[in-house]
Amino acid sequence: MRMSLENRWRIAIGIFGVLFLFLAPQVFELFTIINLTTAIALAVLALSLGLVWGYGGILCFGQVGFFGLGAYAYTIAAINFGDTTGAIFVAILVGAVAAGVLGYFMIYGRVSDVYLAVITLTFTLILYSLLRRTSGPEYKIGDALLGGFNGITSPPLNIPGDISNTLFPEDVFYVAMLVLILAYFGCIWLTRTHFGRVVVAIRENELRAELLGYDIRRYKLAVFMIGGGLAGLAGVLFANGIGRVTPDMFNLYNAALTIIWVIVGGRGTLIGPIMGSFGMFYLTFFLGTQTVINNNLVLGVILIIFVLVVPNGLVPEAGRLWRTASNRRSTSRRERKMRRRTARSTARNGDSSSEAPRET
């Protein structure tokens, strides 16, 4: 049985990810490795939105809300626990629970897609505004001062069970890259389960799925919570890449940028948002080094171009072009084989007629 093209590409992506995991720290300088760790954290965030929006059909304009909550929960828990191992699980749990509470009122309240996007964005901006007003010494959770707009310094990851042995930036890169690989293939596995197929069916036609007996609200809430937990995990990686968490994680710019990543990479795919986040991260990094062109103007133009010209995103469009080219090559090969068969048949018939005995 031949392996499908999609599976071959996924195996290639896995091999590339593993090679990159081991080779990057040997090739790049420390500054580049730290930037790559940050980019990987944002790629996990993009993957979470790709799952929620691309497969669940839930346009969440506030995915950075769960991302920021995860980063803050990790930092606060690590300061109070004195250990980062348990803090990671706290961050994932906080992201998932926040998504569950918010999603319950929206999904079970039958809020339409447009209003859902507005509510999630408003939720994120409320967090942004509240955390900026926590500068005083009275604003603390346990031993962790919230710090207002200055934020909190995040404790680096430590070896589980050994709080005195913290990871260096190169080691954090290994952890982040491994998390990205596992998260990507975990999401692929999830979409191939019965649960994932039902979620896609609900995205395609909610009424039909409901008439088939599925509780569409329960499935949508579940995928929304999974996306929230994954975004919380991305917040942990981001806190370790940057070394600090601030209210700017919740701002409108980051909320819009996350949507752009998925649109550019390709909604309905899992590798597309990852590629979109990497590409846009380094594009904005490059734009930040110059003062001629406004960053927001460039991002706006990119969004308009992709919405109007490439609405499916880069990965689906590249797949369509590849299939078209493959079909053309297959058709051309079949035509050449047909012509050769016809030529051989004609030559054989011609030889047979020339060798036939003549009547006297």
**Model's pTM, two decimal places?**
0.88
Burial 189-209 (b: 16+ CB within 10 A, else e): ebbeeeebebbbbbbeeeeeb
pLDDT for 104 equals 95
pLDDT for 304 equals 85
pLDDT for 295 equals 74
pLDDT for 186 equals 95
Residues of the chain short of pLDDT 70, as ranges, are 1-5, 290-292, 350-360
DSSP designation for 152: E
Residue with tokens 């346009």: 59
pLDDT for 328 equals 80
pLDDT for 5 equals 66
Residue with tokens 């929006």: 53
pLDDT for 357 equals 54
pLDDT for 189 equals 95
H helix and E strand count, the chain: 13, 6
